[in-house]
Structure 1
Amino acid sequence: MIGALRSAVLAGAVLMAPLSGAGAEPVHEILDFDQLDGWSKDDHAAALAVFVQTCPDMGDPDWHNLCALAQQQPPDSARAFFELFFRPVLIRDGADPLFTGYYEPELDGSRYPTARYRYPLYRMPPEAKQQAQWLTRRDILTGDVMANRGLEIAWVDDPVELFFLQIQGSGRIRLPDGGALRVGYGGSNGHSYRSVGVELVRRGTYGAHQVSAQVIKNWVRRNPDAGRELLLHNPSYVFFREVSHVATHLGPLGAMNRSLTPLRSIAVDPDFVPLGAPVWLEKDGAGKMRRLMVAQDTGSAIKGAQRADVFFGTGDVAGQAAGQLRDRGRMLVLLPIQRAYALLPDGA
C-alpha cells in the first residue's frame, strides 16, 4: 500500500525481490495519446471524477489552474480535457517495472477485551514519537511496556490478520453489535520491515513463486508456535489511530488525506510522480489492465519511476485480488503540457 498515512510495507511487498537497475538517472519521453494501449476504451469520466477529488490540494499554479478547469468539465468531455491539457510522459530510471496491489482489510473485533478478542491495536506511545527508532516488535509484544496505559483502540480475534493489517496500514474492525470502526496509520517504531515471505523462502519452506499473503497466513495458523516466532522475525511495528470522520461508504485515506477509489487510486513514488497527477497504467499479465488512475498514495515499498500499487478496495475479495497482482507493464504520468516539455533535455 504511505507518506503521511501509510508508511507500512504493502501487501504486494510481502515477498519483494530487488529491482534491477534502480538508481539510474531518470529518462523522460513524451508520447502521444494514440500510443497508449487501450486509451480510447477507458472510462475517462470515472478517472476525471477521482482527479477532481484531490487536485485542489496540488499547490503549483499550473496544477491549480487545470484543477479549476477539471471541476467545470461535464463527464462526456473528460477524454478531450485530458488530451487537450496534458501530455503522457514515460519516466524510466533503469529499474524493472513492477505493479502490485493493496486493499483495506476487515477484521472482527471489539472495543473491549474478551476471551475471543484478545489481540490489541495500539495507539503510538508518546515516548515512541520522540525517537527515530523505538522498541522492536518482539519487545512490544513479549514485554509489558504497553500494559495498563490505555493505549488500546480495539481488540481483534486473530493475531495473523492483525499482522497483515499492520502491513496494509489501515482497515476496518467489525464490532459485535453490527457496527464498525475504521483505523488508520498512526506511526511506527522506526524499524525497517523484514519480509516474512523472504524468510520462508530462505528456510526452504516455499519457493519464491509460491509465497503470497494467503500462503503465509495458512502456514502460521498450521504452525502456531513457529508461526508466532516467524511474525516476530519482522521487527517493524505499526501503531494506529481511529478514523471517525470518513463515511463508511468511502475508501480509506491515502497520503493526500482523501479517500481512495478502488481500481482508480494508486500508490506511487513521489520522487518521480507528483501526488494528485493522473497516471496511465498498462499492466500486463493475468487480468491485463489498461486504465487511467490517479496518484493519491505512497508506500515505503513503492520506489522507482515504474513502480505502483493499485488500490483494490475493502474486504476479503479485494484482498485476494490485490494479493495476486505482481506484474510488469508500464505507466505514464499525465503532466501539464509546459511541465512535460520542460523535462526534456533541451527544455523543448
Structure 2
Amino acid sequence: MKINNTSAASASSSNKVMGGFGRGVVWRWMAALIVGSLAACSSVPPTGSTPAPVASSADEVPLPPIQRQGSRWLPVRWAALPGWGLDSLHEVWGAWARGCERPAPMHAALCAEMRPLTMAGTAEQQAWIESRFQPYRVVEPDGTTAQGLITGYYEPIMAASRQPTFIHRTPLYAPPPGLPAGQPWYSRQEIDTLPAAQAALRGRVIAWLADPIDALILQIQGSGRLQFREPDGSIRTVRVAFAAHNGHPYQSVGKWLLDQRAIREASWDGIKAWAANNPGRLNEMLWSNPRTVFFKEVQLTELDARFGPRGAQGVPLTPGRSIAVDPLSIPYGTPVWIASRGVVYNQQRLVMAQDTGGAIVGAVRADLFTGWGGWGDAPYQLASRLKQPLQMWVLWPR
C-alpha cells in the first residue's frame, strides 16, 4: 500500500512516494506515496463539483447506476472510454491474474475464465472483457463530476547497515512490544528525545540509514528494499514492509515548508536541498510530522524481486498497472480504465485497484505504482512528479 499517499503497497496507512507527500494503510500507510505521494500532499488541486451531466445521451445505457459509500457509478457504452481498444492488454493481464489470488467476491467466478487468456491476443482479451463486464464512469456520490487526481508512488532502494556507523545513524524500527492498537504512542519527536520511548524501542532496530530524509521517504512509501554490504563485500537485498505506526496523524513536511515559504515546490529534491542548507532546523522539519512508521523484514526471493510489495489487496503490485484507490469508492481487485493527459503522464489504459493509502481519499482518486529504484531513477522521477487530472471507469461483472 501506500502509506501516506499514494499508495499502501506499502501499506502503512499513512504514506505512498511523492505522489502523496503528505501512501499504504494500516493493512500497506495506512498500506499516507508516496504507497502515496509527495505532490498530492503538497497542495490539493481544485475539485469543485458541478451539476453538469457526466455522459452524453449517446454514452448512456439503460442500466441503473451503482451507488457506493464513496462514489456513484454511471453505466456507459464502451465507446465512452477514451482510447479503449488501443491498450496492450497483455501488460495488465499478469497484474489481473495476481489479483485473482485474492479476488473480490464479484470477480472470483471470472478468474477461471481470464487465466487461460493470458497468452491470447489483445483482440481476444478485449472481446472477453466486453462480453463479461459493463463499464461505469466513476463520479461523486451525489452524481456530480469533480476533477479527479492521479499521483504516483514507488518502492525505494536504499543502502543500509545492520549496525550504527559514523555514516549510518538513522534507525528503522520494528514495532515495540505492547504497541497500543488505535491509540497514540510516542510522537516522532518523543521517540527521538525521550528516554522512556528509546527504552521501549531498545533492541527493535532492524536497519540504519545514512539520511533521515531517506528514512522519512521510506515511511511515506510504506515499503522499500534495503541493500546491506556483507563482510565478504557482496550486497544482500531485503525488503522491509509496513508493520504498524505510532497512531499519530500524518503531516506533510513538504506542506510545512511551503507554509513557511521556505521552498516553492514540495519535491523531495527541494526538501533535501533545504535540509542541506539548514542543518540546524532539520529536526524541526522532521518533527512537524508526528507519525512514525514501524517495519518488518520480508524475505525477498528472486521471484519476489520481479514485482513490487504486496498492496492492500494482499497481492504483489505491478509497475504501471497497479493503483491505490479509496476502497469506499472502488473495491480492491476491480479493473479500472484510467485516462490522464499531461506533461508527465499521458495514458489511457487498464489498471487494477490493488492498494490504498492514507492520502488516497475520494471518488476519482488514484495513486499509480511506478516501480522500484534508487534516488533519481525513472520510477522515482515519475512518482515524484506525477500530479494530474484524472478520469476513471470501473469494469464491473455483468
Q: Does TM, scored on the shorter chain, surpass 0.5?
A: yes
Q: 1:13-92 alignment to 2 at 5 Å? A: 13-17=40-44, 20=47, 26-60=71-105, 62-73=106-117, 74-76=119-121, 77-92=124-139
1:180 equivalent in alignment to 2:237: yes
Indicate conservation of the 8 Å contact 1:5/1:184, yes or no: yes
Secondary structure in 1 matching 2:203: coil
Secondary structure in 1 matching 2:116: coil
Secondary structure in 2 matching 1:270: coil
Q: Can you list the C-alpha shifts for 1:173-201, whole angstroms capped at 9, x where unaligned?
A: 11123111110001101111111111112
1:170 equivalent in alignment to 2:215: no
Q: Which residue of 2 aligns with 1:284?
A: 341
Match of residue 151, structure 2, among 100, 113, 120 = 100
Q: Which residue of 1 aligns with 2:198?
A: 146
Return the TM-score normalized by structure 2: 0.79
Unaligned runs of 5+ in 1: 338-348
Match of residue 319, structure 2, among 262, 284, 290 = 262
Q: Can you list the C-alpha shifts for 1:237-292, whole angstroms capped at 9, x where unaligned?
A: 10100011552222111112221110000000111111011111101211311111
Indicate conservation of the 8 Å contact 1:6/1:254, yes or no: no
Indicate conservation of the 8 Å contact 1:137/1:234, yes or no: yes
> Which deviates more, 173-182 or 18-27?
18-27
Match of residue 296, structure 1, among 347, 354, 370 = 354
User: Which structure 1 residue ranges, 4+ long, deviate > 6 Å from structure 2?
Assistant: 22-25
Q: Which residue of 1 aligns with 2:387?
A: 326
Q: d(CA) in 1 for partners of 2:191 and 2:208?
A: 16
Q: Can you list the C-alpha shifts for 1:81-127, whole angstroms capped at 9, x where unaligned?
A: 21111111112115430000000011111122222211111001122
Unaligned runs of 5+ in 2: 1-6, 8-23, 50-67
Q: CA RMSD in A?
A: 2.0
Q: 1:199-278 alignment to 2 at 5 Å? A: 199-207=256-264, 210-244=265-299, 247-278=304-335
Residues 244 and 146 (structure 1 numbering): CA distance in 2 closer, same or farther, change over 3 Å? farther
Secondary structure in 2 matching 1:79: helix
1:336 equivalent in alignment to 2:392: no
1:7 equivalent in alignment to 2:30: yes
Residues 63 and 75 (structure 1 numbering): CA distance in 2 closer, same or farther, change over 3 Å? same
1:155 equivalent in alignment to 2:221: no
Q: Which residue identity lines up with residue 380 of structure 2 in the other structure? A: G
Indicate conservation of the 8 Å contact 1:172/1:181, yes or no: yes
Q: Which residue of 2 aligns with 1:342?
A: none
Q: Which residue identity lines up with residue 365 of structure 2 in the other structure? A: R
Q: d(CA) in 1 for partners of 2:336 and 2:352?
A: 6
Q: Which residue identity lines up with residue 199 of structure 1 in the other structure? A: W
Indicate conservation of the 8 Å contact 2:70/2:329, yes or no: no
Q: Which residue identity lines up with residue 367 of structure 2 in the other structure? A: D
1:137 equivalent in alignment to 2:192: no
Return the TM-score normalized by structure 1: 0.90
